[in-house]
Amino acid sequence: MPLAGDAPGPSARRLSDYLEAIVDMREYDVPYCHRFAIDTEARCGQWYTVKHAGGRCTLACRDDLLLRAEMRVCAFDIECTKLPLQFPNAAHDQVFMISYMVDGQGYLIINREIVSEDIAPFEYTPKPEFRGPFAIFNERDERALLRRFCEHMRALKPSIYVTYNGDFFDWPFLAERAERAGISLAAQLSVHVDKSGAATEARSRCVLHLDAFAWVRRDSYLPQGSQGLKAVTRVKLGYDPVEVDPEDMVRFAAEQPQRMAAYSVSDAVSTYYLYTTYVQPFIFSLCKVIPMSPDEVLRKGSGTLCEALLMVEAFRGNIVAPNKQVSPGDKFYNNRLLDSETYIGGHGARAAPPPPGARTWPPVL
């Protein structure tokens, strides 16, 4: 192979010639963070002694430290206006309450443009072990509410955001309403909503977002009809939460604001204690053996997690992992699914149409 600067000659080979000699590629689709965790035996959820010398960092696992790190957790929930018998639409509906709990302390932000009166601080403690003291911020409108939320999050600096179905609803709705108010969640909170994949996901470069609904769907063993936050609260936390019909929320914000406030904070309390009781111990225990970040351990399917464990063992045994089996896509002809496809060579003359009354397959609609 000629070196840089050599005059090209008849024996010089192009890069494409070498690529043609490659018969197979393995492990090319492994994300870099997974590859790093596998190669270095680094795992989230464990303690390490980090040393830097000679331009290199080394990690030494501390097996003697077993307690989980004390991370600041913020579990939040939003309440929105909506038209009768319709799902909230961020194009015209507003956020009128944001309730959240940070390290056992609750906060509620009120949009006084929708809520008829100021709310005083109160406590929502459904069980003695699930305390919920709430401080209140009464703001004049939605823009002030969103600014207060962003400013408070930047002051509290949570390590983990927790929602219930926040990937699909809370974060996308907040992001669009904030954008319409001239506020960027990506700039304020370093959170962006990724809609490029098969499912919407809220991600951040410096903060984890763990959607407790993903744990309920995959690991709670609850039937699909019992995976709503209220039903999960009854089964997993053992108490009856406050319930309000979605069609009554906007009316209650004007006529019964205290009841609506209690409903809003009950969702934040349920999400916070569901996460701290079940999700966090489970996910960070898995992270000690699976070479993925906590948000991916939470979101990925069980097959993908098992595959990651097999790749760890393959690396330890100096075995190159095989590529994933990819099935060919379905083929269609004239908007009809092909069951099988057969090639027949071309003919000089066009085939004559079938005589009248002849049966054809597939039938002509």
Say what the pLDDT of residue 27 is: 84
Structural domain includes residue 52 = no
- Mean pLDDT over each residue of the chain, to the nearest integer: 88
Q: Is the pLDDT of residue 180 over 90?
A: yes
Structural domain includes residue 336 = no
Between 157 and 345, whose confidence is greater?
Answer: 157
Residues with Cβ within 8 Å of residue 115, at least 6 apart in sequence: 96, 97, 253, 254, 257, 260, 261
Q: Which of 69-73, 86-90, 248-252 bottoms out in mean pLDDT, i.e. has the lowest?
A: 69-73
pLDDT (average), residues 267-272 = 97
Count of domains observed in the chain: 1
Query: pLDDT (tens digit, 9 = 90+) per residue, 296-307?
Result: 999 999 999 999
Structural domain includes residue 114 = yes
Distance between CA 46 and CA 49 in Å, rounded? 10
Q: Is the pLDDT of residue 194 over 70?
A: yes
DSSP class of 56: E
Range of the structural domain that residue 120 is part of: 73-288
Residues with Cβ within 8 Å of residue 33, at least 6 apart in sequence: 292, 293
pLDDT (average), residues 320-326 = 79
Q: Is the pLDDT of residue 3 over 50?
A: no
Percentage of the residues of the chain whose pLDDT score is greater than 90: 66
Cβ pair 179, 191 in contact under 8 A: no
Structural domain includes residue 59 = no
pLDDT (average), residues 49-66 = 88
Structural domain includes residue 194 = yes
Q: What is the pTM of this model?
A: 0.82
- Residue found by looking up tokens 């039903």 in the block: 231
Query: pLDDT (tens digit, 9 = 90+) per residue, 102-152?
Result: 999 999 999 999 999 999 999 999 999 999 999 999 999 999 999 999 999
Percentage of the residues of the chain whose pLDDT score is greater than 70: 88
Amino acid at 357: G
Assign 350 a pLDDT band (cuts: 50, 70, 90): low
Q: Is the pLDDT of residue 8 over 70?
A: no
Structural domain includes residue 346 = no
Structural domain includes residue 78 = yes
Cβ pair 197, 110 in contact under 8 A: no
Q: In CATH, what number is assigned to the domain containing residue 198?
A: 3.30.420.10
Question: In a 10 Å sphere around its CB, with 0-12 CB exposed, 13-18 middle and 19+ buried, how is residue 315 labelled?
Answer: middle
Structural domain includes residue 84 = yes
